[in-house]
Amino acid sequence: MPDPKSYYVTTPIYYVNDAPHIGHAYTTVAGDVLTRWHRQRGDQVWYLTGTDEHGTKVERAARDNGVEPQQWCDRLVETAWRPVLETIDAANDDFIRTTSDRHKRGVQRFWTAVKETGNVYEGEFTGPYCVGCEEFKRPGDLIEKPDGTRLCPVHDKPVEDISETNWFFRLSAFTERLLAHYEANPNAVAPASARNEVISFIKQGLDDISMSRSSVSWGVQLPWDSEQVVYVWFDALLNYLTAIGYGAREGTLEARRFDTTWPADVHLVGKDILRFHAVYWPAMLMAAGLPLPKQVFAHGWLLVGGEKMSKTKLTGIAPSRIVDHFGSDAFRYYFLRAIHFGQDGSFSWEDMSIRYTAELANGLGNLASRATAMVDRYRDGVLPEPVAYTNVDLALQDSLVAAVERADAAMDRLDFAGALEATKVFVDEVNGYVTEQQPWVLAKDQADIDRLSTVLYVMCESLRALAVLYNPFMPKSMNELWSRLGASDGLGEIAEQRIAATSRWGQLPPGSRVTKGDPLFPRLAEPTEDQAS
């Protein structure tokens, strides 16, 4: 039997001109939750992230700091970009750097192959370039100031006029094929607003585009012209191939990984880099005769004061500032819960505090505390066997079935907020059940001993299911909850639990050792002014 195809998810690779802010962490968290969910579906998964280290922007950052570009990249990757993965608890399978040999080799092989197809030719480029975007602009894309300066609308910074003899990629030749591809594959770009934007851009007609730079030296050398390097985007996009073994020696493990991993199932990107991923990238793959990614999903921006959060504009917040206060699980939960994936959203400490308290400390955390404390108190920490289910108990079991179905369907659409909402509805129902059933009253009367057993079991078994559903979002605290429920003895590791089996009632073995402990989501002091500012 051939190995199954991996469910392959990528983040953009991040520029190392500066340290990460929460906008970058947002994409990585989304990919991490998505891939953990798929692992719990039983899929083989490959999750890739990494760093984009070439180009003018990074080279200038290095020079401005008085170090060689390679040294600069090494330093930022080791002190900032790799550590942030730990801060946000990302479980990526690989980390690709564009300055690595495996990447450079793959880039050279790719462009050599495309040149042989006749889709690369020498020409003159004259026009504006935005170093922030690392993008050749069209005059119509720019903001004209009264004094004549032209600004990039994304970075609010003047563009630079360049004039070079470059190598061009024959993008125009792929216009019709791209349109046909998107016609035939309506989900290949999502959400719908992104798809419409891409299609109307292609319909305007595509111009050929420089694939190399002659005035830049920090990059991958063109194999056939040692005076030029590959244009940084046409180097960076190839990370999705080179990281999984494109360009590796045949017969090696790396080369075999390519066969079981490509094409990507989802490229997660911010909306600002949609065009690169949904127009240039598929055209490059078509030129090389390779299959196209199944989906490019464009998410929105984290905004500050209505504008994209960015280091350049000094509005970037380091993920550790939030994680130090709320913890990594709350960080992961909040951004996916509060902002509809695909739309822009604003971050505020107040809003995060409110949601944290209401949904995590009070909602889920309180349920977990109550259930474990009552089993501890009324049954010496041994999970009782349920005796007889009443209609209320059975209704709750039906609600769980509905919650799992809704959450799983939402995850298919990358609707993280929808999945969390469906799960939260169930948390609220279980909390309502506890309030109604009043186990603390049942505990006072010997005649209610059997009913109390059933109610305690229903609470813990509901939490068993909730731990599984929340685990991709909040792995640390759900792992803790799992062990407090005594679930690992009977059921194994939480990450091994399957989404499809979550609503099967009665999995937590009676007799399990339930332990109470500190709150999973402790109540927090209001963020200090210093944090909030």
User: Where on the chain is the footprint of ligand MSP (CB under 6 A)?
Assistant: 12-15, 23-24, 26-27, 52, 236-237, 239, 269-270, 272-273, 301-302, 308-310
Q: Which of 152, 277, 299, 325 is catalytic?
A: 152
- Strand pairing class (225-230; 221-222): antiparallel
Give me the least distance between CB of 518 and ligand MSP, in Å please: 33
Which among 243, 218, 244 is positioned nearest to 230, based on CA atoms? 218
Give me the least distance between CB of 85 and ligand MSP, in Å please: 14
Q: How many CB atoms lie within 10 A of CB 113?
A: 15
Structure tokens belonging to residue 530:
């210093």
Annotate 383-404 with DSSP letters as a single string.
PPPP----HHHHHHHHHHHHHH
Angstrom distance (rounded) from CA 382 to CA 6: 41
> Which residue is associated with the tokens 């190399």?
212
Q: Which residue is nearest to ligand MSP (CB)?
A: 270
Angstrom distance (rounded) from CA 468 to CA 141: 47
SS3 152: coil
Element (H, E) at 475: helix 475-484
Q: Residue 82: CB partners within 8 Å, gap ≥ 6?
A: 95
Give me the least distance between CB of 8 and ligand MSP, in Å please: 14
Q: Residue 126: CB partners within 8 Å, gap ≥ 6?
A: 161, 162, 163
Give me the least distance between CB of 7 and ligand MSP, in Å please: 19
Q: Is 293 or 365 the residue whose CB approaches ligand MSP more closely? A: 293
Element (H, E) at 33: helix 22-41
Q: Which of 103, 308, 325, 424 is catalytic?
A: 308
Give me the least distance between CB of 291 and ligand MSP, in Å please: 18
Q: Which of 137, 311, 476, 516 is catalytic?
A: 311
Q: Is 236 or 407 the residue whose CB approaches ligand MSP more closely? A: 236
Q: Is 14 or 129 the residue whose CB approaches ligand MSP more closely? A: 14
- Measure Cα distances from 296 to 169, 221, 270, 400, 405 in Å: 22, 28, 10, 32, 24
Structure tokens belonging to residue 313:
């504009």
Give yes or no: 115 in active site.
Answer: no
Q: Is 103 or 406 the residue whose CB approaches ligand MSP more closely? A: 103
Give yes or no: 460 in active site.
Answer: no
Q: Which of 5, 137, 155, 516 is catalytic?
A: 155
Give yes or no: 73 in active site.
Answer: no
Q: Is 270 or 365 the residue whose CB approaches ligand MSP more closely? A: 270
Give yes or no: 294 in active site.
Answer: no
Q: CA neighbours within 13 Å on the CB side: how many for 206?
A: 26
Q: Is 232 or 466 the residue whose CB approaches ligand MSP more closely? A: 232
Give me the least distance between CB of 135 and ligand MSP, in Å please: 10
Residues noted as catalytic: 21, 24, 130, 133, 152, 155, 308, 311
